[in-house]
Every structure is written in C-alpha cells, then in structure tokens.
Amino acid sequence: MRRREVKSLDALHLFAALASGAVIGGILSLLGAGGSILAVPLLLYVVGLEDPHTAIGTGAAAVAANALMALWRHAELGNVRWSCGLVFVGAGVIGAYLGAMLGKAIDGQLLLMAFGGVMILVGALSLRGGREGHGAQPVRMTRANALVLAPRLSLAGFGVGGASGFFGIGGGFLIVPALMTAAGLPMSLAMGTSLVAVAAFGLTALASYAVSGFVDWPVAAVMTLGGFGGAMAGATASAKLARNRQALSLIFAAVVMASGVYVAWRGWSALQG
C-alpha cells in the first residue's frame, strides 16, 4: 500500500481541501460540467499531495460523490434518461477500469504531461460553448430503436470511459456531446443523463486506485464536504448569474487552459530533472 502524501490533516491542509472542493462544486453548479478537471491540479498544488497517482485517486472520490449528489437533483427534475445512461455506462465502466489500470502503469510525471494536454483541450472546447442543437427532441430508448441506439451508446461509452478512468476525471465535457450525438438528446437531458456516467466512471476509477493504495481518504472526505457546500452556493448564485453564464464559461476556459500549461510544464520539468 502507498503511503499517504499528506501525513496529518492540519488546519492548512484542511482549509485547502475544503476550499478546493467548494471551487469544484461551485463550478459544477454554475456551468453544469468541468469542475472535476481542476481536481488533480488543486490536490497537487494547493492541497499539497506529491504523487500524481494519489491525486488522481483522491480526486476520483470527490468527483464521484459530487456527481451522485448532482444526479439526485437532476433526477428529481426529470432530466435523466436512465435507459440511455445505463447502456452508456455498461460499456463505459469497462473502459474506465482499463483506463485506470493503464494510468497507474504510466510514470506519474508523464501522466501529468498528458493530463495537462487534456486540460488545454477541455479549455478550448469550453470556448465553443454548449448549444441545444436545432430540432433536438427528447429521446427515450424503446424496443423499436434499441438496436440502433444501444451500439452507438456502448461504443461512445467505452471510449469516454477509458479516458475518464485514465485521468481520474468525471469526463462530463466528453459525455454530454457523446450523448447528444449517439442518442440525439438535447443538452438539458444530456447534462442530467451524463451524471449517471460521471458517477459510475468516478466510482470505477476510485475502486481501482483505492485497491492500489492511491487514495488519501481524509483529504477526499473533506474535499467532498467542500464540494457539497460549493454546489449549494453555486445553485443559489446560478439564477442571479444566468445572464453572465457565457462570461463565466470564458473565464473557466482560460483558467483551465492556463492550468493545463502549468501542469504539463511541471510534469515535463520533473522528467527532465
């Protein structure tokens, strides 16, 4: 078993983990996705974890917990297409498991470089913004269309799940467009349904990293608690900031891209040293 990177959860580490969780939960509530991409750099450079693998495993715990809370809220609002989500997850958890196994086998600093590249990509995609799509109709999987939808959802789920498990992220920025493309879901339903997969992929990655000892449980618990608080605050502020949602998305994209450059540079510098 790996040694925890933070030996004692002192006041500074406690506050850093709590604040980092609040940032992630707040972004998820305000923008609907993307907060989990910041979990690893926050754990490494704010909370103080030293091992990239431990940061990924610990981040997966917080991501899964926050996704389950958000899923409950969206399910109450009727924004979840369970049949599409479960088919997507069925193949996706296999991909997430294989991705997590591959991620653990790669040098931690090399993994950081790849993670930084993904952050830059996520930021660039965020600049495009989300669109509902013209003519999109609420879709339900039935016996009549299952033979068409199921293979599409399974293939998309396996690919997205692999990326999610490899980097220990929720992957909502990939899952939402994948559901819109594979099942024809409008964005509102794709966002709610994506949380089924985010939670499942996060739990799969968490289980894989936990077995190998790559989870700092006290930090994960405090970060999750902060995420709950941030999500509630974000939900309250969401209505007031609705008109500024595009500006918030642009700020988020800039922060993620800048963080990605920094993470990739840190990984490259460590490899050179």
Q: What pLDDT was estimated at residue 87? A: 92
Q: What pLDDT was estimated at residue 19? A: 93
* Predicted structure pTM score: 0.74
Cβ atoms of 243 and 234 within 8 Å: the answer is no
Whether the pLDDT of residue 230 is over 90: the answer is no
Q: What pLDDT was estimated at residue 67? A: 80
pLDDT band, very low/low/confident/very high, at 94 (cuts 50, 70, 90): very high
Q: What pLDDT was estimated at residue 161? A: 87
Lowest pLDDT segment from 92-96, 183-187, 219-223: 183-187
Whether the pLDDT of residue 7 is over 70: the answer is no
Which tops the pLDDT comparison, 2 or 110? 110
Q: What pLDDT was estimated at residue 140? A: 64
Dist. CA 43–CA 117, nearest whole Å = 18
pLDDT tens for residues 110-169? Answer: 877 888 887 787 777 666 654 444 444 455 666 666 677 788 899 989 988 888 888 767
Dist. CA 148–CA 180, nearest whole Å = 14
pLDDT tens for residues 50-81? Answer: 888 898 899 888 888 888 887 887 788 788 88
